[in-house]
């Protein structure tokens, strides 16, 4: 028995292979681009949620009638420095209270500063106070805390406990 093999040349086969290869590469590129877009969308949504949280916090402040001052803690060698900024407060009304486990800052809002910054809206009229409460990481002697007022900025020097540094 003799087998005969018939071979034929299809001039379009090479073109089809090239086209399908180009389509597969385009699909892979599309998938990579789509994954990047998904990652960008997720990052965008995280940022939107953060902004929503900030906005909700500001709305809660208005409902309560007070805002919380900006604060930063700086770790020095043997002290913690708590810097509190309350630009909307009247300087003469800012009070700092130190107990063994927390620091409380309160002051009355300067309405003219708030209206200048935010305009004369009904929500600005509801803001009366600036209040902040900061829990300390350990108990301490309040008499050892040093407080410096510099306008509407307050520097509070908190000594560290010997075992914390």
pLDDT at 86 over 50: yes
- Position of tokens 């309160």? 106
53 and 75 inside one domain: no
**Which comes out higher in pLDDT, residue 125 or 26?**
26
How many whole angstroms separate alpha carbon 42 and alpha carbon 46? 6
55 and 79 inside one domain: no
pLDDT for 125: 66
DSSP, collapsed to helix, strand or coil, labels residue 133 as: strand
Q: Which of 83, 86, 84, 82 is nearest to 107 (CA)?
A: 86
pLDDT at 79 over 80: yes
39 and 77 inside one domain: no
The CATH number assigned to the domain holding 72 equals 2.60.40.790
29 and 48 inside one domain: yes
Burial of residue 89, with CB atoms counted within 10 A of its CB: 0-12 exposed, 13-18 middle, 19 or more buried: buried
Domain contains 88? yes
106 and 52 inside one domain: no
Tokens representing 39? 């990652």
Domain range for residue 29?
A: 9-64
pLDDT for 165: 44
Domain count within the chain: 2
23 and 74 inside one domain: no
pTM to 2 decimal places: 0.58
Calculate mean pLDDT across residues 36-62. 90
84 and 152 inside one domain: yes
The rounded percent of the chain whose pLDDT value lies above 70 is 90
Domain contains 111? yes
DSSP, collapsed to helix, strand or coil, labels residue 11 as: coil
Decide which of 24, 46, 64 is a domain's last residue.
64
pLDDT at 36 over 90: yes
- Position of tokens 């009366």? 128
């Amino acid at each position: 028995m003799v087998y005969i093999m018939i071979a034929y040349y299809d001039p379009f086969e090479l073109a089809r292979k090239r086209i399908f290869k180009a389509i597969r590469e385009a699909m892979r590129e599309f998938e990579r681009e789509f994954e990047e877009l998904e990652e960008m969308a997720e990052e965008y949504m995280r940022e939107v949620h953060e902004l929503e949280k900030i906005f909700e916090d500001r709305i809660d402040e208005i409902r309560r009638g007070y805002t919380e001052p900006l604060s930063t803690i700086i770790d020095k060698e043997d002290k913690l420095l708590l810097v509190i900024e309350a630009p909307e407060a009247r300087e003469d009304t800012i009070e700092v209270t130190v107990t063994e486990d927390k620091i409380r800052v309160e002051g009355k809002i300067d309405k003219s500063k708030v209206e200048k910054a935010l305009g004369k809206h009904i929500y600005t009229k509801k803001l009366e106070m600036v209040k902040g409460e900061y829990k300390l990481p350990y108990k301490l002697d309040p008499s050892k805390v040093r407080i410096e007022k510099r306008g509407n900025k307050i520097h509070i020097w908190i000594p560290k406990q010997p075992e914390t540094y």
